[in-house]
Amino acid sequence: MDQGSGFGLPPAPPLLPKGIGDILTAAFTLYKQHWQGLVKIVAIVAVPLTFLQFLLVDIAFRTGGFGQAAVGGAIAGLFTVVIYSAFAGAITRAAAGSVVGMPISVEESYRYGMARLGPIIWVAVLTGLAVFAGFFVFFVGAIIAAIKLAVGVPVLVVEGKRGAAALSRSWELTTGHFWHVLGTVIVAGLISSIVGQVLQAPFSGAGWFGLAIGASIAQIVTAPFTAIVSILVYLDVRARKESLSSDGLRAELSRSA
C-alpha cells in the first residue's frame, strides 16, 4: 500500500478489485473523512442554481397553461444538466483525489471543474442521447447504454479524455463487468434516493421556496456519495483490467490538472 506521498495523510486504499459491499463501504469511509470539503463543493453551485430552477418553473406554471408548463419542464431539465455539469468536474476531481489521500481544496476543485465545464456538458449530452436512443431499441437498451457509459466523467477527470473518446473508454472499461457495475449503481442509487426523499419530505408542501430548500439539502448530502461511488466503480473496473497503483492514479490526476 502506498504512503501519503508527501501529503502527510494516511495511506491510500489499495487499488484492487472490490465487491459491491466493499465499494459502498469504501465510499462511506471516504465520505466520512472528507464530507466537509465535498459538501462545500456541491453547495456552492447546487444551492443557487436549484433555487433559480424552482423559481423559473413556478413562474411558468403560475403564468400560463400547458405550454408554459412544458417550457418550465424543459427549463428544469436544462438546469439539471447545468447543475450536474457545473459541479461534476469539481466533485469528481475531489473524490478521485480523496482515494489517494490528496487534500481537498474547494478552490482548486472548482478551478479544475469550470475549466472543463464544456467537455463535461458534452459528455453528459452524448450520454443522454445514447440512453435516449436506447429506448427506441428497447427499454433494456437504455439501461445498457447508461451502465456502459457510467464512468465517462471519471475517465474525463482522471485520464483527460473528452467527448466520444471518454465514452468509448467507459464502454471499454465496463465491458465484461456489466452486472457488477449495474448492481453497484442500483444499490448506490437506492441509498441516495431514499436519503434524498427523507430529507425532502419535510418540505413537500412548502411551495417552490420550501421545495428548493429540500432539493438543495438532498443534493448537498447525496451528490458527494454518488461522486465517490462513481470514482470507485471506475477504479474498480480499471483494477479488473489494468495494473493501476495509487502512485499511478496520483500521477494521472497531476497530469490531467
Please report, rounded to a whole number, the percentage of residues in the chain having pLDDT higher than 70. 86
Distance CA 160, CA 166 (A): 8
Distance CA 132, CA 139 (A): 9
- Burial string for 225-234 (b: 16+ CB within 10 Å, else e) reads bbbbbbbbbb
Which residues are CB-contacts of 168 (< 8 A; sequence separation ≥ 6)?
none
* Whole-number pLDDT of residue 116: 83
Which residues are CB-contacts of 54 (< 8 A; sequence separation ≥ 6)?
208, 209, 211, 212, 215
Of 128-142, 175-189, 200-214, highest mean pLDDT? 175-189
8 A C-beta contact, residue 91 and residue 42: yes
User: How large is the average pLDDT for residues 187-195?
Assistant: 96
**In the structure grid, which three cell numbers stand for residue 201, read together?**
419530505
User: How large is the average pLDDT for residues 71-75?
Assistant: 64
**Dihedral sign of CA atoms 106, 112, 115, 117 in order:** negative
Q: What angle do CA 190, 193, 194 make, to 5 degrees?
A: 85
8 A C-beta contact, residue 10 and residue 101: yes
Model confidence, pTM: 0.83
Q: Which residue type is seen at 42? A: V
Please report, rounded to a whole number, the percentage of residues in the chain having pLDDT higher than 90. 42
pLDDT, one tens digit per residue, over 11-64 is 444 577 899 999 999 999 999 999 999 999 989 888 888 888 788 777 777 776
> Angle 163-174/207-241 helices, nearest 10 degrees?
60
